[in-house]
Structure 1
Amino acid sequence: MSIEPPAGTITIAGKTVSRLGFGTMRLTGPGTWGHPEDFTTAVFVLREAVNAYGITHIDTADAYGPHTAEALIRHALYPYPDDVLVATKVGMIRPAPNVWAPHGHPGYLRACVEASLRRLGRERLELCYLHRIDPKVPIADQLGTLQALKGEGKIGHIGLSKVASEDIRLAGKYITVAAVQNVLNVRDHFDPALELCRDLGIPYVAYRPLDAGNLVRSPGLEASLSWLLQLGPHVAPIPATSRLSHLAEIVSAVGAGGRP
């Protein structure tokens, strides 16, 4: 018996997936650094998200750990079910816990994609985001590198993360923007890119939908996810958790009141 996708479905990178996705940022150690305290639980959370709750949109990045989350995903889900989309991000360096810096040099981006392919066990990244636009490198060089990798068959679709409306418009000169991933929740509730994505038909992936855990207590959790889903059918939240009980609460909240 198939499982009904939480909050319905959305098409991202050419694949129909659950609108409620799963972010893997919290499946690492403190400061998004190193390995989780409980490897077995982290793997089980990933498997439960897909197999028990029907979540088919898994979001990650090479910077989570760094490298930890991608390796966990492969361990938990490989070989990947046909209906599962694993989206990753490249273009960030991690010098230390809680320290993030964009690095968009073409050679580095190419190396990141090749490494993510190996860690995930894929021949192609179905959806690869530029994690951040590096202001020190021409955007044409950054996006041109990802577009070249797409031409080589190593990337299926290209997305943008943490971008303003003008970034999306500019990027459209170089690539077809498959998805935009920005912070959005009931506290960080204003983002002009939301309406631009609606107008352009671009899926809007809302990360930190529960404000990094500050909105997890009921009714805050249910109200927060419901608010996001009611902003439009192009919005897909990706809450992150490392706990099975919290995962169950998230899916239950969507079922109780999250469907617009």
Structure 2
Amino acid sequence: MNNYHQHAGTFKIGGEIEINRLGYGGMQLTGQGVWGDAPDRENAKKVLRAAVDAGVNFIDTADSYGPHTNETLIADALFPYPDNLLIATKGGFDRTGPNQWRVNGNPEHIRQAIDGSLQRLKKDVIDLWQLHRIDSRFPVEETLGPVVDAVKAGKIRFVGLSEVDVEQVKRAEKTVPIVSVQNLYNLGNRQWEDVLDYTVQRGMAFIPWYPLASGPEKLKNKIADIAEKHEATTAQIALAWLVKRAPNILLIPGTGSVKHLEENLQGGTIQLSDEDFKALS
């Protein structure tokens, strides 16, 4: 199964941890509205194990998925972890119910979030910890205070940000080195193009969330034609486009099905011609 990763290649997080660019996002292994545990826990564990068996060595989660259930599930499915598996998690949201997300950048909350994630994931070190959102009620330097402490204490190896603009990345970088940015980005939504370009310049990873979205109606026919030519689904073409768009893009499509997981990984093996790429861009 590992041949999935040959075409998409690898990327070094923080210039140090080499991972396959085709990863897996755990958010869908929760209840409705990203609330509560996966309805079929045994199947969810099967999907996680299948991902790792297929050579996925980058899994993205967050303390807010469930909340907490997703991290626990990953540990239940995969602990003791393979040596080369990087589990990235996030903190900075309070959950009050299904589909409800409240930003919380209170340093005390962040400190607890980090310790909670370490416990639930059964890790001594979180390889990549990401601030899920910047909270306008707190200067980002304050929010990142406990993160800096955790890095010094050896609890966190690398730090990333999520849903940020270039100025916010630059400001955060003054407090702690930033190795990755996770923003909404896909074939149909490219509002963060400048952030992607900045991460390319800086050698940071760019992790688009919602990578499978294939975009606006006006692209539909073009995508359908290209998909047909490659004997692929539109979602696979959306992933293939991201692989080609920039070498620092890491893909974390999520799914609750093993079959769909294989389809997603297959998407990373499709080689779009420059012509296909231009037509979609």
> Same fold by TM-score, threshold 0.5 exceeded?
yes
1:27 to 26, 29, 51: 29
2:233 to 200, 211, 219: 219
Q: Mapping of 1:111-130 within 5 angstroms?
A: 111-130=112-131
Q: Which amino acid aligns with 2:118?
A: L
Consecutive unaligned residues in structure 2, runs of 5 or more: 221-226, 275-281
Look up the SS of the partner of 2:179 in the other structure.
Answer: strand
Verify the 8 A CA contact 2:161 2:180 in the aligned structure 1.
Answer: yes
Look up the SS of the partner of 2:176 in the other structure.
Answer: coil
Q: Which amino acid aligns with 1:226?
A: A
Q: Mapping of 1:9-20 within 5 angstroms?
A: 9-13=10-14, 14-20=16-22
User: Structure 1: how far apart are the matches of 2:153 and 2:27?
Assistant: 29
User: Structure 1: how far apart are the matches of 2:2 and 2:187?
Assistant: 29
Q: Does 1:232 align with 2:232?
A: no
Normalised to the residue count of structure 2, the TM-score between the two structures is 0.87
Q: Which amino acid aligns with 2:237?
A: A
Runs of 4 or more, structure 1, over 4 Å off, are 212-215
Deviation at 1:164, TM superposition (A): 0.7
Q: Mapping of 1:50-199 within 5 angstroms?
A: 50-51=52-53, 53-191=54-192, 192-199=194-201
Aligned to 1:3: 2
Q: Which amino acid aligns with 1:198?
A: V
Q: Higher helix proportion, which one?
A: 2
Look up the SS of the partner of 1:183 in the other structure.
Answer: coil
Look up the SS of the partner of 1:27 in the other structure.
Answer: coil
Aligned to 2:223: none
Alpha carbons of structure 1 residues 27 and 212: separation in structure 2 relative to 1, 3 Å: farther
User: Structure 2: how far apart are the matches of 1:156 and 1:67?
Assistant: 21
Q: Which amino acid aligns with 1:188?
A: N
Verify the 8 A CA contact 1:63 1:92 in the aligned structure 2.
Answer: yes
Deviation at 1:124, TM superposition (A): 1.1
Alpha carbons of structure 1 residues 42 and 108: separation in structure 2 relative to 1, 3 Å: same
Alpha carbons of structure 1 residues 175 and 259: separation in structure 2 relative to 1, 3 Å: farther
Consecutive unaligned residues in structure 1, runs of 5 or more: none
Deviation at 1:189, TM superposition (A): 2.0
Alpha carbons of structure 1 residues 150 and 212: separation in structure 2 relative to 1, 3 Å: farther
Deviation at 1:221, TM superposition (A): 1.3
Deviation at 1:212, TM superposition (A): 9.6
Deviation at 1:253, TM superposition (A): 2.0
Verify the 8 A CA contact 1:33 1:66 in the aligned structure 2.
Answer: yes
What is the percent sequence identity of the aligned residues?
37
Aligned to 1:256: 270
Alpha carbons of structure 1 residues 177 and 37: separation in structure 2 relative to 1, 3 Å: same
Q: Which one has the largest radius of gyration?
A: 2
User: Structure 2: how far apart are the matches of 1:43 and 1:189?
Assistant: 33
Size of the aligned set, in residue pairs, is 258
Alpha carbons of structure 1 residues 109 and 237: separation in structure 2 relative to 1, 3 Å: same
Verify the 8 A CA contact 2:188 2:214 in the aligned structure 1.
Answer: no
Say what the alpha-carbon RMSD is for the aligned residues. 2.2
Aligned to 1:246: 260
User: Structure 2: how far apart are the matches of 1:165 and 1:89?
Assistant: 19
